Amino acid sequence: MAAFIVKENPRIKQVFDSWKAQGGTKETFMSNLQKNQELKNILLAETPWLTEATNEAEQKQRIATLFDLNTMNSQLAVSVEKLGELQNADGAWSWYKGMQGSRYVTTQVMEMLVRLNALTHQEADSRVQPMIQKGFGYLGKQVAQEYQSMKEAEKKGAVGIRPSEQVLRYLYVCALDGKAPVDKKVNRYFIDKLSGEGKELTIYGKALGAIILQQAGKVAEAKLFMQSLMEYSVVTDEMGRYFDTPKARYSWFSYKIPTEVAAMEAIQRITKDTKAIDEMKRWLLKQKQTQTWETPIATADAVYALMATGVSDLLANTGGVEITLGKEVIRTPADDAIGYIKKTVSGEVMNIKKVRVDKEGAGMGWGAVYAQYLESMDQISGQENGLSVSRRLYKGDEALNESASLKVGDKITVRLTVKADRDMDFVQIKDDRAACMEPLQAVSGFRWSNGLGYYQATKDASTQFFIDQMRKGTYVIEYQVYMNRTGEYQAGMATVQSAYAPEFGGHTAGYRVIVK
């Protein structure tokens, strides 16, 4: 895929060549977790994610090497050889070498190889094509066994039997390849079954089903699948077009990317709605803004969708961005395709009420303005952007207001309610306690509460929570303290922030505690 990107977009190679020539700027190869440390509520070194930051920084350093043509050719030869060694004699691939062949793993590998052929519009490497043929042979046998089982069940009077998702993915790979050696009788049986199953399918299933039906000549039925699929989509100016429904399932690593990619490909092949595809590309890129995509599967899926669908060329965009702050004008670098710039301003410019941003050319871009200032704790009000947090104190089942009088020894529950308007990785929460509060749980550790897993760290003046993955939704986190001294105290804010994209975050106001 890297070779195809370089061939189709010579400009992207120029970017990496210039990076290597310059040795990269200070932030060129930094992970998103490492960037903008001064804007984050908790230092990276205090979080459990230090190794993730290092790993991603190494990935960015390797990107420039990946796009070197000589290195690419040698790596490709090694990878093809390894892939061949990992394929079993029956055509299957297993999870690890020496294990029994896996239908799931084989389907995943075949899907990637056939998609690569479809993207580059050429036959696979001469060393890869025999692997694809053997893979089809193995998957064909698995599907034939399922066919026999279903036919026997129907003879015994079973009704409403549906093909499994593995069959659906096999039919999709066959449709994408176009020349797969298949048993026509078996495939026709499953395609006929698929025709009447639209209501029962997930969004992912509908998208694959539409592609399969279209390839089989059932054009009208494919369009009905697409009509149903699009009725489930939601579109907003910021997020683009996506599926906000339980029918849009998460993949095994918690992302909805495979669903979005399948839908984009179905639109490209059937309805050719380029406006909808561009809106879905925006959603994909917005997901990358707040997620690390630790699996290569999610990344490969997304790159395939961005490169293989729509008419707008994301990599051809040469437009710059101009930011106006009063009399000061800041421009993104003209010779950098990434267009990343960071500028710190202070003094009189801080009094400017308006920031003007002008963008040239097609495509999209994003940025953020951060203001840092000193303020008395009792003057701070709540704020949110993408993430929000609210805080309530409870004594038993009774919710306390700020004027509530407490006694030494009272046990109080602090309830934090966190809301996320999109899926996010590396979310951190920090609750600044009043000086009279002593936490009941002094030992830090992993916790599980209300469907959310998090690491809880108890510090001298705050309680902190670290969440690897937070799906869109509302979550409640609680911890307990007891009052250990009399007096009137001012508590700080509770803050929530994405460490990966610090522009997304929110905080509460402070509050007073009176202990008698």
In angstroms, how far is CA 339 from the centroid of its own chain?
22
Sequence letter at residue 130: P
> What is the predicted pLDDT for the residue at 235?
93
Q: Which residues contact 114 (CB under 8 A, 6 or more apart)?
A: 132, 173, 176, 177
> What is the predicted pLDDT for the residue at 496?
93
> What is the predicted pLDDT for the residue at 308?
80
> What is the predicted pLDDT for the residue at 26?
46
HEC sequence for 211-223:
HHHHHCCCHHHHH
pTM for the model: 0.71
Span 377-515 CATH architecture: Sandwich (2.60)
| Neighbour-count burial of 32, counting CB atoms closer than 10 A to its CB (0-12 exposed, 13-18 middle, 19+ buried) | buried
Of 198, 285, 274, whose CA–CA distance to 240 is shortest? 285
> What is the predicted pLDDT for the residue at 222?
92
> What is the predicted pLDDT for the residue at 459?
87
> Block means of pLDDT (10 residues each) for the chain, length 516 residues?
76 68 53 60 57 59 64 81 93 85 92 88 77 94 93 85 88 90 90 78 90 92 92 90 84 74 92 91 86 76 82 64 87 72 77 86 77 74 87 90 85 94 88 90 86 88 88 92 90 87 86 87
> What is the predicted pLDDT for the residue at 45?
55
Distance in angstroms (rounded) separating the CA atoms of residues 48 and 224: 48
